[in-house]
């Protein structure tokens, strides 16, 4: 999935890969040229299923978590939050990709 040239305001998450669907698939998201205001998380992915998220040209007004990492779970269970931030394996961005205002 590509999300580009988008503005989000007052949201919990801009993107979240399903963490407990009947059928689980590897998902990849590219987030580019996004403005986020009053948004808690830009993207949430499932690292145990090999999901990836790449971020460029992100502008955050206030604060936001750029990339939340979860271990996806079987249907009916809740995914476990296992961390946040760039790791060079599943979440890809550098400080120069994110502008805080």
Confidence class of residue 17 from pLDDT cuts 50, 70 and 90? Answer: very high
Higher pLDDT, 22 or 10: 10
Residue 39 has pLDDT above 90, yes or no: yes
Q: Is 95 helix (H, G, I), strand (E, B) or coil?
A: helix
Tokens describing residue 22 = 């009947």
**For residues 7-32, b (16+ Cβ closer than 10 Å) or e, as one string?**
ebeeeeebbbbbbeeeebeebebebe
Residue 84 pLDDT more than 90? Answer: yes
In the predicted structure, residue 24 carries a pLDDT above the cut 90: no
Q: Name all domains of the chain by residue range, CATH numbers in brackets.
A: 2-94 (2.160.20.10)
User: What are the backbone dihedrals phi and psi of residue 93, each rounded to the nearest 5 degrees, phi first?
Assistant: -170, 160
pLDDT band (50, 70, 90) for residue 73: very high
Supply the pTM of this predicted model: 0.94
55 beta partners? 31
* pLDDT attached to residue 56: 98
């Amino acid at each position: 999935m590509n999300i580009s040239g988008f503005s989000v305001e007052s949201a919990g998450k801009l993107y979240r890969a399903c963490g407990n669907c009947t059928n689980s698939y590897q998902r990849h998201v590219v987030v580019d040229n996004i403005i986020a205001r009053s948004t808690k998380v830009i993207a949430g992915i499932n690292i145990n299923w090999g999901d990836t998220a790449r971020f460029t040209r992100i502008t955050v007004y206030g604060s936001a978590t750029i990339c939340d990492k979860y271990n996806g779970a079987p249907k009916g269970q809740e995914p476990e939050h296992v961390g946040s931030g760039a790791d060079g394996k599943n979440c890809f961005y550098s400080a120069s990709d994110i502008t805080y205002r």
